[in-house]
Amino acid sequence: MSKALILLGCTGSIGSQTLDVVRANRDAFHVAGVSARRLSERFLATIQEVKPAAVALESDADAVRLADQFPDLTVFSGPTALQQLAAYDQSAVVVNALSGSIGIEPTLAALSNGCDVALANKETLVAAGPLVMETARLRGANVIPVDSEHVALAQCLSGSALQTVEKLLITASGGPFRGKTPAELRDVTVDQALAHPNWSMGSKITVDSATLMNKGLEILEAHHLFQIPLEQIEAVIHPQSIVHSMVQFCDGSIMAQLGAHDMRIPIHYALFYKHGRKDSQLPRVNLLEIGQLTFEPLDHETFPAVTLAVQCGKMGGTIPAVMNAANEVAAHAFLRGELAYLKIIDMVAAVVESHTPIYRPTLEQILDADRFAREETEKRIRKQVGMH
């Protein structure tokens, strides 16, 4: 019997690649629900292909049009649509492929319903990690990583006691600006920032890869996922993106996970999480063709985002939520041409500095901190570009 799957964010990069994996494993999975922000031709084509029982959309008007076209379809819309879809089928695995802090509430809704969540949404654990992991524990549900780095760590840690772990080593390609100095990055264009050397991703996460904020977010994610102290997690530059992460153990050995830079590989692993490894037709790595794997220290002066993220993680409370939301707004402002590349992390740091943290926050307090950060960042950007 095939496993039900609810896919949040089916038209984005991770969502589309998840559907590729499902297509290749039709006997193992059926798609019970999908969501998209708007009613696009792509979303309609997905509905016609996978024939879900339920969907979620942002706009009520879009929902009415869709319900007219597919009268047997359950259609959720409005501010709680994602939560309703995430909790629609208690037997389903929920794949959260959303971008941004919009992913927090549906993750909690799914876990509260006892569903396992395959999580590609970094922001959920960065902003609300303790709350999410506690909800999963109380409901007996699993938070399954989808990011290539965390899937790699999960495989390297498999069967090992946490007290034997000395360090988690999260690899980073270095993005398009590896080896550059701050002076060389003064006039960076959007096109340059989006020209990632190895991975094909959405625009916001590609900007995060250029600033290396994505590595900061991944360190905080790993801290929550694997219950490893932040002091024992480190980012390492690895330009080839073949080693996806490593674990250094107390006996001096290091275990690494290698694979092609294709997101369908970690997605495939995440979907088959409880069933062991399954055959796939996904790309293989030929080490003889690659010939050389290199590693470099991270340049914290040129890429201060990692240091900032770890500091925010150590402060805890609502601080990581503020950092995450400020970064989201600042990255989009850069994409719109309203903020210089080198000002992205400066802006995030300034907004974090302006926030009075709340410790052991409730979900509502986390969401309030998120709203504060967005409004404060937008206000500072408008002031900077002279928009009143």
Judge whether 6 and 88 are in contact, CB under 8 Å. yes
Binding residue per annotation — 289? no
Element (H, E) at 388: none
What is the dihedral angle through the alpha carbons of 29, 31, 37, 38, rounded to the nearest 10 degrees? Answer: 130
CA distance 306 to 371: 23
- Those residues whose C-beta lies under 8 Å from the C-beta of residue 80, and which sit 6 or more positions away, are none
Binding residue per annotation — 376? no
Q: What is the DSSP letter of 74?
A: E
Binding residue per annotation — 147? yes
Binding residue per annotation — 9? no
User: Which CA distances in Å does 277 have to 25, 270, 271?
Assistant: 13, 10, 10
Beta-carbon-side half-sphere exposure of residue 349 (alpha carbons within 13 Å): 14
Binding residue per annotation — 364? no
Q: For the chain, give the number of residues.
A: 388
Please tell me whether residue 247 adopts helix, strand or coil conformation.
strand
Binding residue per annotation — 112? no
Binding residue per annotation — 314? no
Binding residue per annotation — 14? yes
Rg, C-alpha atoms of the chain? 20
Binding residue per annotation — 104? no
User: Which CA distances in Å does 287 have to 136, 156, 258?
Assistant: 38, 19, 10
Binding residue per annotation — 173? yes
How many whole angstroms from its chain centre is CA 113? 22
Binding residue per annotation — 47? no
Binding residue per annotation — 123? yes
Binding residue per annotation — 198? no
User: Which CA distances in Å does 245 have to 155, 236, 251, 311?
Assistant: 10, 9, 18, 22
Q: The sheet that has 243-249: what strands, in order across it?
A: 233-237, 165-172, 243-249, 254-258
Binding residue per annotation — 218? yes
Binding residue per annotation — 121? yes
Binding residue per annotation — 11? yes
Element counts in the chain: helices (H) and strands (E): 16, 11
Residue pointed to by tokens 């991944």: 218
Annotated binding site for NADPH: 11-14, 38, 121, 123, 202
Residues of the binding site for 1-deoxy-D-xylulose 5-phosphate: 122, 148-149, 173, 196, 209, 214-215, 218
Q: Extract the annotated binding site.
A: 11-14, 38, 121-123, 147-149, 173, 196, 202, 209, 214-215, 218
Query: Which parts are annotated binding residues for Mn(2+)?
Result: 147, 149, 218
